Structure 1
Amino acid sequence: ATLVVSGCGLFKSKDNIHPPKPVPRFTATLEVKQLWNHGIGDGAGLSGVRLRPAVSAGVVYAASTNGGLAAWKLDSGATLWSHSSGSGWHPFGWFKGREHDHFAGGPSVADGMLFVGTQKGGVYAFEAKTGKELWRAQASSEVISAPAIAGGKVFVRSNDGHVFAFDEQTGKQLWLYDRGDVPALSLRGNGTLLAVNGAVFFGSDDGKLVALSQADGSTLWSVPIAGGEGRTDIERIDDSDGRLVFANGKLYVDAYHGNVMAVDPANGRTLWSRPLSGYTGVDEGAGKVVAVDDASNIWALDASNGGDLWKQDKLEWRWLSAPAVQMDKYIVIGDLQGYVYWLDLANGELAAKEHPAGSAIVARPLIAGDIALIEGDDGSITAYRVSGG
């Protein structure tokens, strides 16, 4: 049997031996303006799912754990369409029959279509313009990370370690990658698949970075990025569940009880490696790799060699979201109390702070130019525009 633990929920109890530092006070050096706010429905809560908005062609798409789906204009928040699949009246016939499906991964948007995974292993495709359901498919277990789309295929990772490829237009299963049993104990969550350069990349529950062929799902290479050590199963957890980044011709990745690494996507060769235990994933901008360690310290590393550039510890133990680089100038990041912060990418100094959510912000902020979209675990989605920067 596999026991899955929440990377954030483990540390939020009143008996936490590492209480979070207080919300920092500082003089803002960056002007941030709220554009709009919406509630999409039930948020992730403590479920550990990876719901996060998607943006395409000036439209924001979002999904909720109780089956809601909506599209809004990015700049104004005006509603383009909004559907609910919860119990009760269904104004759209194509949403009938999904009363008990709970969205859990996504949405992802590509080629005029939306793709969402569910807690029951469902994979749905919708027309982005209207929200009309186009097809549905089935994975082997819950899908709690966003699908990846490339080359006419939809790639989905299920929570039991399988990776599926479905035809983008029909939903027909094309291949299945079965990596075998997942570890006895792992962090709850799956890193989002990254589909580029003819391959599908992902971090595994046993601390490996894996590359599969998009064509047939065969393993191209697999390299360790963590090696959990210790006397207990918890001490030996070595997940790589965070976001992968492809930039500068390199893959950047982190792992719990592991390293931040730069890897050659062609063959898995390590280009540099720096010990740093994290589970949120990394981002890259302006020649820097930004990572968050498991104590919520924020680090900037030199993207060319992994050398330390700066460390920000004023948010220590605030259980931060994955970092997002905005405009190659700022880092946007959320915390367990619903605050979101902007940091200066050049030196790590805090530049602005807002409080958009009534619960934790676990989802990585979504960046669209000078606009940052923040989703809270309470189902709130807030858009902010950076100005004066």
Structure 2
Amino acid sequence: MNKQSFRSLAQAIRPPIAIITIALLAGCFGGLKKPQPAELQPVTPLVSARQSWNSRMGAVNFPLDVSVSGQGAAIASDDGTVVLLDAQTGRDIWRVALKAPISAGVGSDGKVLAVVTKANEVVALQDGRELWRQKLNAQVFTAPFVAGERVFVLAADRSVNAFDGQTGRKLWGQQRSNEPLILRQSGVMLAVGNTLVVGLSGRLVGLDPSNGNIQWEAPIATSRGINDIERLVDLVGRFSRVGDTVCVRAFQTGIGCVNAARGSLLWTKPANGVQGIHGDNSLLFGTEVDGTVIAWKRADGERVWSSEKLRYRGLSAPLVAGRSVVIGDDTGFVHLLSREDGSLLNRLTTDGSAIVAAPVLAGNTLIAVTRNGGIYGFQPE
């Protein structure tokens, strides 16, 4: 193996709009009969894998990102537990209780780990001890990005802030125009060369990491519709990066790829999904709102195949791992599909609660985390 629902509801920055949003969503979907999930067919394993360990922590009801560095996997739970696991054995390297509910995490560069609490504090940790806390002006649903001895935070008000990784001193802040609605979902933030690449509304934006100045913008999607919900446009994690090319999904609108060295848009295609995408140097993979799994050519976005075997099963964002596309569902199964045609290669079981984060690969171990706080490590046989 190699590295590399409609669960999100639109949330409002201002409380009065939050009430309107909930009412509108209830009116739109409350009278519709929920589609029945596709029945799972028996599977003959064509890719062998076994559960090698499992661990536990508290429940996870926020947009968790599992951060992998070498053989370490950093994970957090609602109650403020942050744990760094040895991915080979599942044993704790360290575990700390922040005693504060978490809204976003985990980001790590292999040394410093960072999360954000529901009290809007970014918290940095190292070797199982707290380094610093800094108060933010807005909620955060995207895991902090830790790189270059700095911690970068993308907040729900479309602000980006940079902090010194060891002291927490604020280095700079960049504020874009606010919008009535945002997603309670992880966004996009990464480094390409010496550029901090961030998803702001429907655009990928390149920032100078030393001062926050904007270097370029590339539109993936634009607002449309006649009300705030229909005009909602955001880029959602996870993303796929190969070299200078970054490919992302715009919530319920489309997917696209950008050359992040030049800041130029390569292509966009319509796509109706709410979870991020992943891929390799030739293909991209993603799940649509109805659970259809799709593969696109990375070069131009043309569709290669689609599979309806997992429709309405509340799918996670995918992971490309060798010949497999790995996807979790809301009943705790982890499905391994063929990257070549979408056929089923294997199905792995957890504790029966939803897979809450996109699966990750740490060394030779596939890691899945469930809503009930189960952490599962699978290894090839």
Match of 1:80 in 2: 93
Give the match's secondary structure for 2:250.
Answer: coil
Give the C-alpha shift of residue 221 in structure 1.
2.1
The one-letter code matched in structure 2 to 1:293 is E
CA separation in 1, counterparts of 2:160 and 2:186? 11
Q: List per-residue Cα deviations over 1:226-252 (Å, max 9, x = no partner).
A: 234334443333221222322132110
Is contact 1:194-1:202 (8 Å) kept?
A: yes
Match of 1:173 in 2: 170
Give the match's secondary structure for 1:19.
Answer: coil
> Could you tell me which of 143, 148, 155 is aligned with 2:145?
148
Match of 1:343 in 2: 337
Is contact 1:140-1:162 (8 Å) kept?
A: no
> Could you tell me which of 199, 203, 206 is aligned with 1:203?
199
The one-letter code matched in structure 2 to 1:353 is R
Give the C-alpha shift of residue 286 in structure 1.
4.8
The one-letter code matched in structure 2 to 1:133 is E
Match of 2:352 in 1: 358
1:189 is aligned to 2:188: no
Match of 2:214 in 1: 219
Give the match's secondary structure for 1:3.
Answer: helix
Match of 1:60 in 2: 73
TM-score normalised according to structure 2 size: 0.87
The one-letter code matched in structure 1 to 2:57 is I
Unaligned runs of 5+ in 1: 86-98
Give the C-alpha shift of residue 358 in structure 1.
3.0
Match of 2:326 in 1: 332
1:268 is aligned to 2:263: yes
In structure 2, the CA distance between the partners of 1:124 and 1:242, relative to structure 1 (3 Å rule), is same
In structure 2, the CA distance between the partners of 1:192 and 1:343, relative to structure 1 (3 Å rule), is same
Give the C-alpha shift of residue 351 in structure 1.
0.8
Give the match's secondary structure for 2:172.
Answer: strand
CA separation in 2, counterparts of 1:295 and 1:171? 42
TM-score normalised according to structure 1 size: 0.86
The one-letter code matched in structure 2 to 1:43 is V
1:367 is aligned to 2:364: no
In structure 2, the CA distance between the partners of 1:322 and 1:249, relative to structure 1 (3 Å rule), is same
Which aligned pairs between 1:100-179 and structure 2 lie closer than 5 A? 101-128=100-127, 131-179=128-176
Is contact 2:327-2:336 (8 Å) kept?
A: yes
Match of 1:18 in 2: 35
**Bigger mean CA offset, 12-21 vs 332-341:** 12-21
Give the C-alpha shift of residue 165 in structure 1.
0.4
Which aligned pairs between 1:234-245 and structure 2 lie closer than 5 A? 234-245=229-240
Is contact 2:316-2:329 (8 Å) kept?
A: yes
CA separation in 1, counterparts of 2:167 and 2:287? 39
CA separation in 2, counterparts of 1:288 and 1:357? 31
- Percent identity, please: 30
Is contact 1:121-1:158 (8 Å) kept?
A: no
CA separation in 1, counterparts of 2:159 and 2:335? 35
Match of 1:40 in 2: 57
**Bigger mean CA offset, 112-121 vs 341-350:** 112-121
Give the C-alpha shift of residue 80 in structure 1.
2.8
CA separation in 1, counterparts of 2:198 and 2:36? 32
CA separation in 2, counterparts of 1:115 and 1:65? 15
In structure 2, the CA distance between the partners of 1:286 and 1:343, relative to structure 1 (3 Å rule), is farther
Is contact 1:43-1:380 (8 Å) kept?
A: no
Is contact 2:63-2:184 (8 Å) kept?
A: no
CA separation in 2, counterparts of 1:351 and 1:113? 37
1:382 is aligned to 2:358: no
**Count of aligned pairs:** 362
The one-letter code matched in structure 2 to 1:342 is L
Give the C-alpha shift of residue 271 in structure 1.
1.2
In structure 2, the CA distance between the partners of 1:286 and 1:178, relative to structure 1 (3 Å rule), is closer
Match of 1:91 in 2: none
Q: Which has the higher contact order (CA 8 A, sep 6+)?
A: 2
CA separation in 2, counterparts of 1:286 and 1:27? 28
